[in-house]
Amino acid sequence: MSPRFDAADYLATPEARADYMAAALEEGDASEIRRALNTVARSLGMMAIAEEAGLGRESLYKALGENGNPEFATVLKLMKAMGLKLSALPIDKE
């Protein structure tokens, strides 16, 4: 049996993490954004991200878990801890 694919294994650079998050944000689906936050956090180490964001490790796992629904303030803390920032772009209306 081959090992299961984990995108976190391929997010080794800030640019790769930013591109991954940008793609999830572009989709606009809250569940996909939560999954992307989880993947990026795992790529950097959940313990390190929890500490940097000022969150308990268990709280982080719960917020980013399959049934998680992190508050917006938590998302902003996580993004900063991951070395990422949110930005706004106009929607192309063609």
pLDDT of 2 > 90? The answer is no
Regarding predicted confidence, which is higher, 44 or 28?
A: 44
- Position 89 scores a pLDDT of 82
Which pLDDT score is estimated for 34? 97
Average confidence (pLDDT) over 18-28:
94
- Residue whose structure tokens are 């878990």: 65
**Long-range contacts (CB closer than 8 Å, 24 or more residues apart) made by 52-58:** 52/80, 52/81, 53/77, 53/78, 53/80, 53/81
H helix runs in 1-91, sequence order:
14-27, 30-44, 46-53, 57-64, 72-81
Q: In the prediction, which pLDDT does 87 show?
A: 87
In the predicted structure, residue 41 carries a pLDDT above the cut 80: yes
92: pLDDT strictly greater than 90: no
Rounded Cα distance between 74 and 41, Å, is 13
